[in-house]
Structure 1
Amino acid sequence: MKKKRWIIIGLSLLLLAISLLNIILAPIAAKKLTKLVEEKSDGRYFLKFKKLELDVFSGYASLKGIQLLHRKVQADTAALVINGTVGEIKVTGVGLLRFLLHKQLVVDSLHVDQADLSLTLRHRPASRNKKTTLSQKLSPFAKIITLGHLSLTNIGVHYRDRTGQIQRADLKRSDLEADDLLIKEGVENDTTRTLFSKSIRARIADISGSTRENAYRFSLKHGMMATKARNIQLNGIKLEPLEVMPFFKKMRTDRFQMALDSLELQELDLWSLFQRGTLQARNIAGSHGSFAVFGNPMGKRSPGDRALSFPNAVLQNMRKRINIDTVDLSHINVRYQEMKRSTGKVGTVDFLNTEGLFTHITNDHQRLLTDPWCKIQLRTMVMGKAKLSMNVNFHMNTPLYRYDMEGHMGSMSALDLNPVSVPLAGVRVTKGVINSLDFVIHGDRHKSTGTVYTRYKDIYVEMVRENNDRKFLKTLLVNTFVLEHNNPATPGKEPRYGQVSLERPLSDPFFKTIWNTLLTGFKSCIGITPPAPQTKEKVSLPKKIFRAIGDLFKKHD
């Protein structure tokens, strides 16, 4: 009985001693921690917190009401400035004895809650010739760090960049859980881990930001990542530019706009993505969205050859490697717009409910040796009226940026072309049906050649002024002497076709090159321009009208 009593007394005294030790050590640890932050930052940062709890026996620590504040000091040249608050940081199962004896830090769990961080990049950090890994940076502190479970909840981040294209980015909320985290020499080469962990599950919500001069705003509603499933899911992606005229007052580039409800990266190599910046995936699927391009109308473009806008040029010139087996897009509305500077009117071409399958998207030299072609199949509705099917092949292993394209468009009313023909060409279609349009184009960075076949019936037009009033005389002359109203001209006759051979101006990007090639072939078919091969003399529309009138009065034998 006495023995049991002494055991109880001994345990009580031990617990009391441990409690007293925790009470004594807590303020000492708090003071040491704040001093350490100030010393290691050369006085640029100081740490404040409301409460520190310790349990040395179980390896437990809790820090609450934390503030990390940047202090302006003389000759502060730091590239990145950080300020932030954290509700609580809680650590459990810290092996102090093993850490003190062997410099091996073993922790059961680390939980961070209610963090709000502000980061400002003031200038680009100086490049270092020798890159050090995280394990090398932490080696003076611990040779090995293992963490059983990491939990980050309710994390917000506000980023400001004074140096680059991204001016502002805000993350309203993120949550992350990671299991079996290991940091030691050589762990960076362990392909079974992502960001040092065996498994990561992350969620982000409400990202928003803007680019330089607020030309664009971007946002993401929701995102998820699961390393075991090798999957990233993004929802509610938006890229929104300024209104047209304010945008072009600031920028001298084409204006882009994008929205996408869903984007999923499947069977993604996350180790290569985070360790090497390489994008490798079996499939990328995007659905229900829109993509719009407004051509730059404001004078001269930046000097140089815009062949770099060709899709194969973009991929070839990327610094990082890309290997994607397929990209599958569905229910995408595409719009292209141009403004005629002399009138300020805007022409619009819509491709609605577009579906596309892209295969073999890669800039990996070894893979391109066996198959150099990226192939695309597209299905869309031109102006929401006519079905268009296209096959496009891009050669990915040549500096000429070769491409082959063929397509077929079904029937549509010719009046549906007015949203582009009236504002840009001053031509209003008043009657007619386009029965079909077929084309085959071969091109590269220097030229495009091909053939355009179109069948149509009873096409009549009006030439219009800037206020949309009809030019009576010119309309009469065009419909009488220039325009071929039917193709074929009579039933049973062989239909006309337009052969195209165009030298590409250095200032023309890819989409404008394709548009000009198709338009030239179409105009050849309907009689507005002479068919290829082209002569050196450029024949204007008025000159062609008067030549046709003159031919009527020539004497014939």
Structure 2
Amino acid sequence: MFVVRNYCLLVLYEPTTSAPVSEEPRVQAARPWWWLLGVLLLLTVGVAVALQLLDPWLRQKLEKQVATSSHGRYQLRIATLHTSLWKRTATLRGIQLRTSKTAPDSVGKPRADLVIGRLEVAGVGLLALLRKQVVPIDSIVLDSVGLRLASLPAAGKSPSKPLHQQLPLDGVRVGLFRLGHVHGSYGPAQQPTVQLGRASLQLRDVLLSATGAADSQRVAYATTVAADVHGLTLQVPEHRVQLLHAGFSSTQQRLTLDSVVVHPQKPINNQRDKTARISLALPRLELTGLNAAQLAHQHFRADTLRLTGPRLALTLPTVKPASLHVLLAPYLQQMRLKRLEMTGGSLRVAGLEQAPVISNVRAFATNIQVLPYKRPTNTLYYAEAWSIRTGLAVMTFNAPYYNASWQQLQLDSRPGTLRLVGVKVLPTMSATEMARRKGHQAANLMIRLPEVLVAGLDYRLAQREHVLHATTLTLRKAEINSKNDGRFPINPAISIMTPEALGQVPFRFDVRRMRAEQATIRMAYRAPRDPVPGTMSINRLSVTLRNVSNEPRRMNAATPLTGEATGWLQNRCYAQVKLRANVLDDSGLHTLSGSFGQTPLSILDDMTVPTRGIRFKSGTVQHIRFQMTLDRTSARGTLWGRYSDLKLQLLNQKERPGLLKRVETSLVNGIVLRDNNPRKPGKPLEPGRMDSRRERRFSVFSLWRQGLVSGMLHSAGVPAPLAKKLSESE
């Protein structure tokens, strides 16, 4: 208008001296400007009207499209929809997608209830959209999302195409995708399988195209991913899993879980099922260095997994579960974790006779590697090395007769060490009650091991071939107390405390050297004749055994088990013995030799008076030495005893030398026994023949004692047949 108006003024005020000009051409030249102005005005009004009608039309179109494509099963309602072509934005509020109440249940089309408070799409590349190229979008934001899903859609017969191949254009590139304040559930309304309290998800630079899918540095088409979850509950087979909080950031390469709790539907007890029952409380899990982009290629790689304060109780299944590499094979081609750290853990295992309970567990593993369909042969339970520390552990042993425990355990696979501190094996009842329950005599043992050390332990060999191989095993200041009640029948089973039984252990073992330092053994036997038990002790005992093995290439007649022991009998008589045994010899053949130092024979009264009714009135041993050969049938050998002034006193049931016992004592001392050996100075010793039949229901230690008793009696003048019979008596 301004141009036209100025043009008219120029015409009106043109000087009169100018040549005359016709007015008609000027009017015709001005008309195109008026037409252009009219067209622009009409276009402006049309666009304004179209924009006013676009939002309602688009809202109705979306709602109708959902109803049509789902054949009326789903209904979409949008409260408001606003678009801005100038700003290239679209904002939708109050979105509701619901299953029609009249729609029947359908396979593959679950009942769903979706509510979205706000959906905002900004910065849409309209030109690229029209050309069906890769459409740039600045951001997509969904807020206040609630979803209730009755079931999952049925899977198709053929694998579905990747998401970018399902788009009707080349792709979509979203600068920011944000999903906030999400809650929902999946499964039956009364008991949902999944229930989510609140969650959020943020993706940056999402390239939904073939190029984005091929980019190995992207996670789900995005360069960065961040997620946050609160209040998640899952129903899994026989268990309910609850998660208070979880967070993930691909930028920080960190995944954290806070307060994970697993509740079994059945209690943790010794009643076993086909599947394991687990109760778990895990306050904190942290995974760092996680390469999330590799997960899309079924590769799990991370730096450190930290578990803080896990409390685990489980009932073992009756069916052995598959190995970890078999379980992970459908999901991962490989799993690599540089370090595993667990602190403050506790473990209770039911379904085992031992039912162990272990506290204050700390475990560290390095270079964990799980490959599909096979277990790496050069690893120990998938790790290069393990280090484990525990606090107090308690368990039953030979239930219900014993409880076992230790105060500390330290295990390190790299140097091959194992250390146990404060080991105890304690009976749960008296010797009499134990024998009554078992129906026969049974050793009632109390064992205390302040420290057990194992060095050179090959953990990989133990896992791979079930062979226990170690360089040394050391027991320090062990205490063993044994009680027995002789009023009950003898155990009818063949004893397993024999050399040949050692060779029949159902697993291979090979310990180069075993040593017990400063041990103490106390024995008490309640004989039928006297309620007061007889006692015997071995103090300051040191034992060394070499080549303790049942490996055929290690154990044979040329390289048998050898050992020696030294100690003090009744803490007053020094003794030493040597042993040679081929534990793979089924005949049980082995040899024992040794000696006893100077001591009064009265040190034996504590055992002989209550059990045999015999007291040593006098007698001193200067030296005893012996050599014995033993097998499954007998003990045979020779004993040389140098002693003097041997006198016995036979006692009655009341441990008194009654008249009859005095007569017997006189006959024994005067006729049977040899007072001195040798009888006179300078004379040779009278050797004692060791001969005693073996009762296989007794341990090898009883056979050793029988041989010594028979040799000592014969050396003291008791006829060999009588000495043999007395040594074999119960």
* Same fold (TM > 0.5): yes
What's 1:222 paired with? Answer: 408
Q: 460, 468, 472: which is aligned to 1:283?
A: 472
The 1-side partners of 2:578 and 2:553 are apart by 25
Q: 298, 305, 309: which is aligned to 2:497?
A: 309
**Aligned pair 1:518/2:518, yes or no?**
no
Matches within 5 A, 1:144-183: 144-161=334-351, 164=353, 166=354, 168-183=355-370
Larger Rg, first or second structure (1 or 2):
2
Matches within 5 A, 1:299-448: 299-306=488-495, 308-310=496-498, 312-369=499-556, 371-448=558-635
Contact (CA 8 Å) 2:404, 2:426: kept in 1 or not? yes
**Aligned pair 1:86/2:272, yes or no?**
no
> What is the Cα deviation at residue 480 of structure 1?
2.9
Contact (CA 8 Å) 1:499, 1:532: kept in 2 or not? no
**Aligned pair 1:108/2:307, yes or no?**
no
Matches within 5 A, 1:446-457: 446-457=633-644
Distance 1:360 1:61, change over 3 A: same
The 1-side partners of 2:264 and 2:402 are apart by 30
Q: 139, 149, 167: which is aligned to 2:329?
A: 139
The 2-side partners of 1:337 and 1:421 are apart by 12
The 2-side partners of 1:17 and 1:398 are apart by 77
Bigger RCO of structures 1 and 2 (CA < 8 A, at least 6 apart): 1
The 2-side partners of 1:288 and 1:400 are apart by 33
Matches within 5 A, 1:171-320: 171-185=358-372, 188-191=375-378, 193-211=379-397, 213-241=399-427, 242-251=429-438, 252=440, 253-295=442-484, 297-306=486-495, 308-310=496-498, 312-320=499-507
**Aligned pair 1:467/2:645, yes or no?**
no
Distance 1:114 1:298, change over 3 A: farther
What's 1:125 paired with? Answer: 318
SS in 1 for 2:703: helix
Contact (CA 8 Å) 1:499, 1:533: kept in 2 or not? no
The 1-side partners of 2:698 and 2:323 are apart by 45
Distance 1:230 1:21, change over 3 A: farther
The 2-side partners of 1:15 and 1:464 are apart by 104
> What is the Cα deviation at residue 499 of structure 1?
0.8
The 1-side partners of 2:292 and 2:492 are apart by 63
Distance 1:334 1:299, change over 3 A: same
> What is the Cα deviation at residue 280 of structure 1?
0.7
SS in 1 for 2:676: coil
Contact (CA 8 Å) 2:454, 2:472: kept in 1 or not? yes
SS in 2 for 1:366: coil
1:308-328: CA deviation from partner (whole Å, max 9, x where unpaired): 421x22321112111111112
The 2-side partners of 1:119 and 1:21 are apart by 36
Contact (CA 8 Å) 1:216, 1:239: kept in 2 or not? yes
Structure 1 stretches of at least 4 aligned residues deviating more than 6 Å after TM superposition? 13-16, 26-29
Identity %: 16
The 2-side partners of 1:223 and 1:411 are apart by 42
SS in 2 for 1:236: strand
Distance 1:530 1:50, change over 3 A: same
Contact (CA 8 Å) 1:501, 1:533: kept in 2 or not? no
SS in 2 for 1:82: strand
Distance 1:213 1:344, change over 3 A: farther
Contact (CA 8 Å) 2:200, 2:228: kept in 1 or not? no
Contact (CA 8 Å) 1:402, 1:445: kept in 2 or not? yes
SS in 2 for 1:309: coil
Structure 1's unaligned 5+ residue stretches are 1-9, 541-557
Contact (CA 8 Å) 1:391, 1:405: kept in 2 or not? yes
Contact (CA 8 Å) 1:378, 1:389: kept in 2 or not? yes
SS in 2 for 1:94: coil
The 1-side partners of 2:608 and 2:491 are apart by 28
1:416-435: CA deviation from partner (whole Å, max 9, x where unpaired): 11111111110111222111
> What is the Cα deviation at residue 532 of structure 1?
5.4
Matches within 5 A, 1:6-155: 23-25=199-201, 34-35=233-234, 38-39=235-236, 41=237, 44-72=238-266, 77-78=273-274, 80-100=276-296, 102-121=297-316, 125-126=318-319, 133-155=323-345
Contact (CA 8 Å) 1:335, 1:351: kept in 2 or not? yes
The one-letter amino acid paired with 1:110 is L
CA RMSD between the two structures: 3.1
> What is the Cα deviation at residue 469 of structure 1?
2.0
**Aligned pair 1:496/2:691, yes or no?**
no
> What is the Cα deviation at residue 411 of structure 1?
0.3
SS in 1 for 2:523: strand
The 1-side partners of 2:519 and 2:433 are apart by 27
Contact (CA 8 Å) 1:500, 1:532: kept in 2 or not? no
The one-letter amino acid paired with 2:586 is P
Distance 1:298 1:180, change over 3 A: farther
SS in 2 for 1:345: coil
The one-letter amino acid paired with 2:455 is Q
The one-letter amino acid paired with 1:339 is R
Distance 1:431 1:15, change over 3 A: farther
The one-letter amino acid paired with 1:230 is G
SS in 2 for 1:197: coil
The 1-side partners of 2:486 and 2:277 are apart by 40
TM-score (norm 1): 0.84
The 1-side partners of 2:407 and 2:706 are apart by 38
Q: Which moved more, 1:142-151 or 1:23-32?
A: 23-32
Distance 1:353 1:59, change over 3 A: same
Distance 1:534 1:426, change over 3 A: closer
1:202-246: CA deviation from partner (whole Å, max 9, x where unpaired): 211111122355311211111112222221111111111133223
1:1-25: CA deviation from partner (whole Å, max 9, x where unpaired): xxxxxxxxx99x9998579599524
1:332-363: CA deviation from partner (whole Å, max 9, x where unpaired): 11233322123233222211111111111111
> What is the Cα deviation at residue 370 of structure 1?
7.8
* Count of paired positions: 509
Structure 2's unaligned 5+ residue stretches are 1-137, 142-173, 183-198, 203-225
Distance 1:534 1:422, change over 3 A: closer
Distance 1:289 1:72, change over 3 A: closer
